[in-house]
Structure 1
């Protein structure tokens, strides 16, 4: 343990299922942890944060914000780890637990409650391979799930989901009672991603895509669409910039090389921050082909006021909303993506229209401050404390 909390005060433990040095996407969760810690302090509740692995002296977490930093294995089957959890619960008077991406039902929750925990919150951000809305689980398996999700003591007090896509999966497939599942759409820092003037921009159209280098992110689709822009639409006044690293990066590079895309498709590698790359882009593409729960790449493009082309998968349509804030294409549709890109490349008026609609959508529906406020309001209900 890095730092101890006053065990006379009730505590909330924010338990993550990853290391404190895990990459960019988790920074959104880090910021939420800090907001929960501030909220807890206002209610005279100590705040603890735990990691699967804790690496000291990397700048996060900020020790001044939290009352304690622990290293715990989330829901480990090891008897030693179970006793570690129970020992820490008792030692720090932990009355509330906030879990990231953990099961909605677990026999461990009964043990935590016996040790003194009053509320268990699970925040579900899990993406899945199937990009389509979940189909209801029926028959004997559905019945067993229905029974299991209604057994006392082993259920999470409440489950927060980042989109209705995730909420539906939990309710109709996992059979979690709908009354226990609350959707809170993720937010984005709209000030950080505020657009800047590109009226003096000249040269080729810059197309940006960022994401982990895995097949399910649709990067190969974008590479092949880039070749179509040249070969079928006879365009060469553009360049695609892709930022990301991962297990399929070499495959993507080989594909781009085989399609002779030098000068049209550039690999930036892993970048520390996507902000500057998004802001310099004329068009942003998020070509995901799987069930993304609530991808931050979409929210950030909207906040930056960029013409956005993305796909009808997972929670993406919910982020975009019904306001023409982006263009949605079918996942895996190479020709449809290329055709849409060609239209935007050659139509600055449409790009301007989409940019304005994107920024409006982000300001109205995706402001990070709104997100934090909604989480705190729901926490106050589930923890039985006041909400300022």
Structure 2
């Protein structure tokens, strides 16, 4: 065992290797793993504690970036941070530090929730919980693909990570199909388990909100999440005489439009008050493998207007729990919003179906239950 760590549990330890919050997914997943894996101890390994800022911004990593010239495409501080984190140098350094951290311990299995490192151990079943793949971005329209494409050497590391995993659990069928089609993973090794929500369960909410014509956007990346298209659609609604309002949560774009309020970043605990006041949720993303925001809005009884891309059609059922439009179709977006805002009963009906859909298929209890059955079966085979 590592110095200072608790003794091994009855059935063994599970190395849970993660990086950051992962939009609060890591905390929710770890909590449910601890609840369902009776007799196992979850050894929580935060990669951010092993690889420092000095490592990422050090000369060795910057030389790698300079060699492939990707920094020339990084047009914002966020893009620069992404480029610095996604190099083969940092991948290999993170992998080495993880193995140092896990050395001397015996694990029943390992589970990682990011593909920026390899947390596998010799002779130990290894699992991945994935929301996306780098090559899945090829399935979006050219104008929606990221400018920063990983290097060939990094893609080789990602492919190797996926191909040697005992099993890969995905947050969407879209991601699962990419693993099979783009990476050559065996279909039997890829399991779509969806994901849960990371906001508190809602208390009863009054139905009068559906007549309030309040549109809610929640997203950190204003441009990638379709904020510009939503703003154009919102202005079109107002031009048509629809007295709608728009609340922007999660980011702080510099916009000025009558009826629009920019809230900025808030904690997960503060999100429910915005969901509870809204009539409709709209996030017309340009790229979206498996957005948790759609599920969280639906859990609060909101119909969703989104784009028909990635894993979104799995979370937003066209004509049942909301409407899907093509990326960039501002007029289609405005018309879909108008259909809901002008009909509070339709809003309510679709919102209630949205909540039922999420409660059926997008809970952490369901996700981890499927993972547990597969993991325990494969651990048993490896023993």
* Shorter-chain TM-score above 0.5: yes
| 8 Å contact kept, 1:285–1:310 | yes
Pair 1:131–1:207, CA change in 2 (3 A):
farther
CA distance in 2, matches of 1:202, 1:154: 47
Is 1:380–2:382 an aligned residue pair?
no
Residue 194 of structure 2 corresponds to 185
CA distance in 1, matches of 2:23, 2:210: 35
Residue 4 of structure 1 corresponds to 5
Deviation for aligned residue 1:155: 0.5
CA distance in 1, matches of 2:95, 2:338: 56
| 8 Å contact kept, 1:194–1:303 | no
CA distance in 2, matches of 1:86, 1:189: 30
| 8 Å contact kept, 2:210–2:344 | no
Residue 126 of structure 1 corresponds to 132
| 8 Å contact kept, 1:226–1:264 | no
Deviation for aligned residue 1:77: 5.6
Pair 1:350–1:85, CA change in 2 (3 A):
closer
Choose from 305, 318, 324 the match for 1:328: 324
Q: TM-score under structure 2 normalisation? A: 0.74
Residue 15 of structure 1 corresponds to 17
Would you say how many aligned residue pairs link Structure 1 and Structure 2?
Answer: 326
Is 1:164–2:165 an aligned residue pair?
no
* Cα deviation 1:72-96 (Å, max 9, x = unaligned): xx99668876554444433222341
* Cα deviation 1:187-244 (Å, max 9, x = unaligned): 2379703551133x5985211110013411101111111111122x122x22100101
Aligned pairs for 1:292-303 within 5 A: 292-303=288-299
Aligned pairs for 1:1-388 within 5 A: 4-6=5-7, 10-16=12-18, 18-19=19-20, 22=21, 26-40=23-37, 42-43=38-39, 45-54=40-49, 84-102=97-115, 109=120, 112-113=121-122, 117-126=123-132, 129-130=137-138, 132=140, 155-188=164-197, 192-193=201-202, 195-199=204-208, 201=209, 204-231=212-239, 233-235=240-242, 237-245=243-251, 249=252, 252-253=253-254, 256-257=255-256, 261=257, 263-273=258-268, 274-290=271-287, 292-321=288-317, 324-384=320-380
Give structure 2 stretches of 5+ with no counterpart.
Answer: 51-86, 142-154
| Worse-matched range after superposition: 181-190 or 345-354 | 181-190
Pair 1:198–1:3, CA change in 2 (3 A):
farther
CA distance in 2, matches of 1:223, 1:80: 42
Alpha-carbon RMSD: 3.5
Q: TM-score under structure 1 normalisation? A: 0.73
Deviation for aligned residue 1:369: 2.3
CA distance in 2, matches of 1:238, 1:80: 51
* Cα deviation 1:224-273 (Å, max 9, x = unaligned): 11111122x122x221001012xxx4xx42xx33xxx1x32110010112
Residue 62 of structure 2 corresponds to none
SS of the residue corresponding to residue 209 of structure 1 reads strand
**Between Structure 1 and Structure 2, which shows a larger proportion of helix residues?**
2
| 8 Å contact kept, 1:287–1:311 | yes
CA distance in 2, matches of 1:271, 1:78: 31
* Cα deviation 1:287-313 (Å, max 9, x = unaligned): 1111x2211111112111112211111
